[in-house]
Structure 1
Amino acid sequence: MKIFCISDNIDTNIGLRLVGVDGLVVHGKEEVIEVINTVRNNRDIGILLITRKLAKLVPDIIDDLKLSANLPLIIEIPDRHVKKDEDNEYITKYVRESIGIKV
């Protein structure tokens, strides 16, 4: 299975390409929807990385993908503009919502 990244900046895309992760840089809601639909139809992709900024553009689609048992697995990754404290809070919130334990 492959990993694919949808990013809003070239730096994230280049960094992930260095470790073998293909991806695209997009900026608009329509572009995000188009790429997500393409990835959903590609059976080779098992994990979809998407920056939080882009995930916020299409929360209904992201939630639908996360709640379904189908591939790809959706993982939101921090933007390069996120402050350190916000990133730590995001991880804590994600764990709390996922397993119901306050960390």
Structure 2
Amino acid sequence: MKVFCISDNVDTQMGLRLAGIEGVVVHERQEVLDELDRCIIDPEIVIVLMTTKIVNTCPDIISNMKLNYSKPLLVEIPDRHGSAKVGETIDKYISEAIGIKL
């Protein structure tokens, strides 16, 4: 079982690499989608960490994957440049999944 990081900046990727988490730095929507496809195919990757900026490149696809794919688990992480409202994002996903506003 492996954790993988898809990041938009080198600092986040390097920090996680020091913790033993491999990853890539990408900037374009197609690069993000290509990496996500690669992570889905790889049976070893069970968790994919993505910075908020990466999630914002294709929120519709990532939201759909979170709701409909059992593997890998997609987790949004804030980076040092962002002031992400990750809690609100989680509330939104739960509300969409169960149909009740939290």
The normalised TM-score by structure 1 is 0.83
* Aligned counterparts of 2:52 and 2:74: Cα–Cα separation in 1: 11
Count how many residue pairs are aligned between Structure 1 and Structure 2.
97
Distance verdict in 2 for CA 1:70–1:11, change over 3 Å:
same
1:26 positional shift: 0.5
1:26 matched residue in structure 2:
26
* Aligned counterparts of 1:94 and 1:63: Cα–Cα separation in 2: 10
* Aligned counterparts of 1:4 and 1:48: Cα–Cα separation in 2: 5
Q: How do 1:3-82 residues align onto structure 2 when only pairs under 5 Å count?
A: 3-82=3-82
* Aligned counterparts of 2:54 and 2:26: Cα–Cα separation in 1: 8
Please identify runs of 4+ aligned residues in structure 1 that moved more than 6 A. none
Tell me, what secondary structure is at the counterpart of 1:79?
coil
* Aligned counterparts of 1:76 and 1:69: Cα–Cα separation in 2: 16
Give aligned-pair identity as a percent: 41
1:79 positional shift: 2.6
Structure 1 spans left out of the alignment, 5+ residues: none
1:41 positional shift: 0.4
How big is the alpha-carbon RMSD for the aligned residues of Structure 1 and Structure 2? 1.8
The normalised TM-score by structure 2 is 0.83
